[in-house]
Amino acid sequence: MNKNTAYSFLIAAVFVVSSMTAYNINHVDKNDPQLLNELIDLEEVSAAKDAPVVAVKKTKSIDKLLRQCATCHTFTQNGKNKTGPNLFAIYQKKIAQNDSFKYSNSFKSANIVWDEASLDAFLTKPKDFVPKTKMAFNGLKNAEERAKVVSYLKELN
């Protein structure tokens, strides 16, 4: 076999392979539901890949946050005390003003007025802000969640 014949074979082989590939691409059945699903999946994957990556840190809703307090507190006017005192209208009041609740000594001797700053500090870690408090709650680590709870307490008047 001379050089030219070898080239001709090679070119013929390349032609055959590429036309087979073209045949396959042009002869997919676009009505095949299975295939259609796969194509849709592929589109979704590439759309997801192109989507900008945004770090969304979800904070809990106020309802969900208050549920953590509600085991021990009520929030309604004249609501009963549970393990903790009723929390209606405590904002701008001194700590431990609910006469029908038995506060801890550390609460009774603390000199605190409940405002945004003190509530935020207390709810971050109750036992750090009022040492020996009997509020057995670890605190809300998320600042945004604390702000939600504080503004809720602020509106309770």
Enumerate binding residues for ligand HEC (CB under 6 A). 68-69, 71-73, 83-85, 87, 90, 95-98, 103-104, 106-107, 123, 133-137, 140, 149
Which residue, among 145, 141, 154, 156, has the nearest Cα to 67 in the 3D structure?
A: 145
Q: How far is the CB of 57 from ligand HEC (least distance, A)?
A: 19
Rounded distance between C-alpha atoms, residue 109 and residue 63, angstroms: 32
Nearer to ligand HEC, 27 or 58 (CB): 58
Q: Which residues pair with 113 in a beta bridge?
A: 94
What does the alpha-carbon distance between residue 150 and residue 146 come to, in Å, rounded to a whole number?
6
Task: Pick the closer one to ligand HEC by CB: 3 or 132.
Answer: 132
CB of 157 to ligand HEC, least distance (A): 14
Distances (CA, A) of 156 to 9, 23, 71, 106, 130: 89, 73, 18, 25, 23
71-80 as b/e: b if 16+ CB within 10 A: eebbbeeeee
For ligand HEC, the closer CB: 29 or 99: 99
CB of 58 to ligand HEC, least distance (A): 18
| CB 82, min distance to ligand HEC, A | 8
Residue among 18 and 71 whose Cβ is closer to ligand HEC: 71
